[in-house]
Structures are given as structure tokens and as C-alpha cells.
Amino acid sequence: MNFDEILRQTRADLCLDCGKCTGSCPVTRVDPTYSPRSTIERVLSGRPEELIHNEHLWACLTCGLCTTRCPSNVDYPAFVVAARSVARQAAVEGTYAHNAVMQELMGIMALPIRQKRTGWLADGLKTVTQGDDFYFVGCLPYFDVLFEDLGVVSTDAARAAVRLMNALGIAPVVSDDERCCGADLLLNGDVQGFRRLAEINLRVIAASGAKRVIFTCPEGVNAFRHDYPAVVGALPFEVVHLTELLAEHMDALPLHALGETVTYHDPCRLGRYLDVYDAPRAAIRAAGATLVEMRANRENALCCGSTGWVHCGRCAKGIQTTRLHQAQATGAQRLITACPKCRIHLSCALKDLDIDIKLEDVTNLLCRAVELDTD
Amino acid sequence: MTNQAEGFQPRIVVFACNWCSYAGADLAGVSRIQYPPTTRVIRVMCSGRVTPGFILEAFRLGADGVLVTGCHPGDCHYISGNENAVVTVDKTGRLMNVLGIEAARLRLEWISAAEGARFARIMTEFTEQVQALGPTALKDTTL
Ligand code: SF4
Ligand code: SF4
Ligand code: FES
């Protein structure tokens, strides 16, 4: 794609130069030199190559906050992602977090490997190898190793998810052959790598016979719902986030009131991208917890500060700190998220702050309310 | 695909720190000590510079084994770089377990500048070990 097409497809050519995006952007708050408005302006005035070599191309979180406020409906995240793929063709990439270990893992997962990624399964969890429901776990088993220093055990949300599914009478397929959904490759402009992972995942899911794929990672749902059809065609199965499924069957769960005060962090993908705001909140209330909202919530929610495992730094830490202070201001005992990456990113900032709040995935909160042991 | 000792020549990437292990490899060379021609040595300033990403990249690009080498404990020229290497190799081994790449394909060894013979011996041993494992699944076109 060339920049003319990118501008047209993302409606950036209709930019009014109003600056609402820059005024809304959480990155700009920390780094005033960052401006989505002037980025578009420079490309519109015929200097796209400047963008390719500008590190600000990798600073955008693709959080979508600006898009919700743009009077011209410019899809700035899509503009950035498309520009990144142009940069990639010119052999320009961003600075990856964690020395690109996630990029390497994604690259290896695109090869013929036999993973052992279901080691997190615990006694008493009912899963199958063939069936109607496929639980797409995502990269949680890798996160467990990578982020153990933060004290985050990402797969505890996976165990909780299977327990909740079991409580609803669902024994999901869990597969060693599942791959990363590839969202983070696409986000960095690697369309080819994304396609390879998407194709393998489709084969693995097809082999399981599943008619529905259930996710706990919003990035996975978003990739499957929005991006997979664009590269591999219409999907022959239904795609749901676990909270959406639970919202429909909450009565079936034997819930006890937790009687605690919590706040909820909307993940960008689940919220602004997929419009799922109410289901996780309904789950929290059903668990008998009192939900208090942060200053920025729902479509105005603040991003967890880092996406695509790229360009993590001062801005990320600044945004995370702001978010955690917003959570602290609610007086809640827990900060509930519905995204494993938000949990990791916010935990990273929390370790340096004197804020007394516990981060928890919504599935674990629900499990506690059903009095199911989740480790 | 063959993993018989005679047929299969593994490719082994060796990360060697500038101050000890690279000099050790050099000494093995100038002393004309024989060791298998399976190695690709990459010099790094310190074993602490090696990241999980480096090691995984080597496997992604076709390595059958990766050896990280550094100065003996207490001898690192950056004081504690080799302590970081211990953490890195441990973590990477566990990532490899999830990926289904045998952790025995990754090894960490301390080799000083004076230990040319030790370098050669470790290379011979590790080559045999990786040879016995055969090529990684990453290169299996039947999967
Ligand atoms: S908010 Fe929309 S119209 Fe206004 S400057 Fe940003 S992209 Fe342009
Ligand atoms: S998507 Fe988010 S980070 Fe990117 S420019 Fe818009 S508001 Fe800023
Ligand atoms: S300099 Fe040799 S291990 Fe640090």
C-alpha cells in the first residue's frame, strides 16, 4: 500500500487539523513532542518518508482514544499500523521490548513445532481434545516464564477460565498446537507473519471440530473478529470473549457475594475496539462486589501504556502511573482487568509505586465468588 | 531426516564473551586442538549481553544447539554479567520447554582465556549431545 491509499482508507485525508487527537492522546501527555495531528499533516503535505524514520511511528499505542473523538472519523491506529508495514518494507522496525523475545517467540510459533503449552492445566479441570468449544489460551504459558519477576502468574486466569466454563457445563478443547494469535505482529506491520500464524490457528481449530472459540485475551478476540477475516476469509466458528459468554449465563453460576470494593480497567481492545463494556461490569456485580469507576472509564478509559511489545519506556511508565493513581483514587481494594497484558503492564508500574491495590483478572474474581479454588 | 551420529552435522551457535571465552576459543585454535567444525562463534562483550531473544533467534534461524560461554564466577570483567547469564539461560530453557525445543540444546559454560583445551572438550561433548537429539522440529517439513 502506498501513502495515498493509506490516507484514503483510514480517512486521514479528511483530517481537519483540529488537534482533538493530540489533545486526547495519553502519549502526548507524557511526551509533548508527540502529535498524531502533525504526523498526519506531514504525510498529507507530501513527506511520508519522514514518518517512516520517525520513532513516533512506534510510540502510538493504537489505543483508539483519539478515534472516538475525531470529528472526521479518522482511524489513526489503522493509519499507524499501515504506515508501520510500509516502514517494514523499508527494513525499518521499532525498538522491541524485552529484547524482542516476544517477536522471536511469535517467529518460532510460525514454524513447525510441537509445543508443550498446556502444562498449566491442573487437576480437576475438564478439557477435551475434540469438541464444540475451543478455549484459545493465547501466550499466557510464555508470559508465566517471562514475567515471573513481576509476580504475575498469567495462567491462573486460564485455570479460572476453565473452572468457570466447567461450571457452565462446558469442557473446552485446549491444544498444545495453538499458536500466538499474531496480533502483535500485525500491530508492528508484519502482515506476512500474522497470516502464517492465522493459517496455523485455523487448521488447529478446524481439527478440533469447534464451533465456538472462547478467549480470555481481548487481543485474541479482536484479532479473530476484526483481522483474521481480512487475511484468511470468513471464520467457520463463533468468536467470544469469556465475559460475553458469562454475561449470558450468569444465573447458572452459584455465586456468593464477595462484599469487596473493586474498580475495573477497560482494555482498549475489549472496550473501544469490541464495544464490550457491560459484560465484565455485570460479572463483577454478579460476584457481589461493589464496582467504583475510575475517572477515565469505558470509551474514555486510559490504555495500560504499552502495546505490541514495542517502544516501552518513559511514556508507558507515565501512563501506567496515572492509571494506577486513578485506581487508587477510587479507594478500591482491587483493580480488575480482563486482559492478561494490561495486568502485566500495570503490575510492572505498581512494583515501583506505593499504592495498596491488588490486580486481578475478572475470571479469578468470579472464581472466588463461586468459591472455586484458583490457586 | 537423519539424526544418526554419522549423518547429521548439527549447527551450534556459541556466544563467547570478549574477555575470557573468546580468548579461550582462540587458544584452542592457535594450539591446534581438534574439535568438531559444528560451531559458529559470535563474540559478545560479556555473557550478560546475551538475551533470551538472541538465543531464540539462533534457533529460529536454524541452530540445533546454543552454547553460552563466559568468564568463571568472580572473573567477569563487568563484575556480575555472568550472573545475569545464569538467569537468562535458565529462563530461556523454560521458554524452550513450552516451545517444545529440548532444553538440552542450550548450555551455559564458564571458559577462561587459558582454557583452550576445555573449550575444545566442551564443544566435542556438546556436539555429541546435540547430534544425539537430531535436528530441531523447527526444520521438520513433515509437521
Ligand atoms: S482529531 Fe481527527 S480531524 Fe482532528 S486533527 Fe486529529 S485526525 Fe485530524
Ligand atoms: S491511538 Fe492512542 S496512542 Fe495512538 S495517537 Fe491515538 S490516542 Fe494517541
Ligand atoms: S566479561 Fe566474560 S562473562 Fe562478563
Mean pLDDT of A168-182: 98
Distance, CA of B43 to CA of B69 (rounded, Å): 10
In tens, the pLDDT along A176-232 reads: 999 999 999 999 999 999 999 999 999 999 999 999 999 999 999 999 999 999 999
Distance, CA of A17 to CA of B2 (rounded, Å): 63
Tell me which residue has its CA closest to atom 3 in ligand 3: B70
Buried b (16+ CB within 10 A) or exposed e, B4-42: eeeebebbbbbbbbebbbbbbbebbeeeebebeebbebe
Interface check for B133 against chain A (CB to CB < 8 A): the answer is no
All domains of chain A, ordered by start, with CATH?
Answer: 3-89 (1.10.1060.10), 98-247 (no CATH), 253-370 (3.40.50)
Interface check for B103 against chain A (CB to CB < 8 A): the answer is no
Mean pLDDT of A321-336: 98
Amino acid (1-letter code) at residue A19 = G
In the sheet that A334-337 helps form, which strands lie side by side, from edge to edge? Answer: A290-291, A261-265, A334-337, A358-361
Length of chain B: 143
Residues from chain B that touch A101, judged by Cβ atoms under 8 A, are 51-53, 56, 95
CATH 3.30.479: does it fit domain B12-133?
no
Query: Does ligand 2 come within 6 angstroms of the Cβ of A79?
Result: no
Which alpha helices (DSSP H) does A168-227 contain, by range?
183-187, 191-208, 218-222
Distance from CA of A113 to the nearest CA of B (A): 5
Query: Does ligand 2 come within 6 angstroms of the Cβ of A139?
Result: no
Query: Does ligand 1 come within 6 angstroms of the Cβ of A40?
Result: yes
Mean pLDDT of A166-184: 97
Q: Quick check: A368 and A374 in contact, CB under 8 A?
A: yes
Query: Any residues with CB less than 8 A from the CB of A349 and at least 6 apart, and which?
Result: A305, A317, A320, A321, A323, A324
Mean pLDDT of A36-56: 92
Query: Does ligand 2 come within 6 angstroms of the Cβ of A83?
Result: no
Q: Quick check: B85 and B108 in contact, CB under 8 A?
A: yes
* Ligand 2 pocket mutation, candidates A55, A65, A345, criterion most atoms within 8 A of CB: A65
Confidence of residue B7 (pLDDT cuts 50, 70, 90): confident
Contact B138 A113 (CB under 8 A): yes
In tens, the pLDDT along A294-326 reads: 999 999 999 999 999 999 999 999 999 999 999
ipTM: 0.94
List A128's β-bridge partners, or say none: A173
**Considering chain A, what is the average pLDDT of its residues?**
96
Mean pLDDT of A84-111: 96
Residue with cell 492445566: A121
Across the A:B interface, residue pairs with CB atoms under 8 Å apart total 73
Percent of chain B with pLDDT over 70: 94
A 10 A CB-CB count for A154 gives 27
Residue B5 has pLDDT above 50, yes or no: no
The residue of A103, A113, A185 whose CB has the most chain B CBs within 10 angstroms, and thus the best one to mutate to test that interface, is A113
Residue-level pLDDT at B142? 65
In tens, the pLDDT along A259-279 reads: 999 999 999 999 999 999 999
Domain ranges of chain B: 12-133
pTM: 0.95
In tens, the pLDDT along B18-64 reads: 999 999 999 999 999 999 999 999 999 999 999 999 999 999 999 99
Residue-level pLDDT at B69? 98
Q: Which three cell numbers stand for residue A324?
A: 494506577
Contact B143 A114 (CB under 8 A): yes
Residue B1 has pLDDT above 50, yes or no: no
Contact B138 A111 (CB under 8 A): yes
Q: Quick check: A145 and B90 in contact, CB under 8 A?
A: no
Amino acid (1-letter code) at residue A157 = A
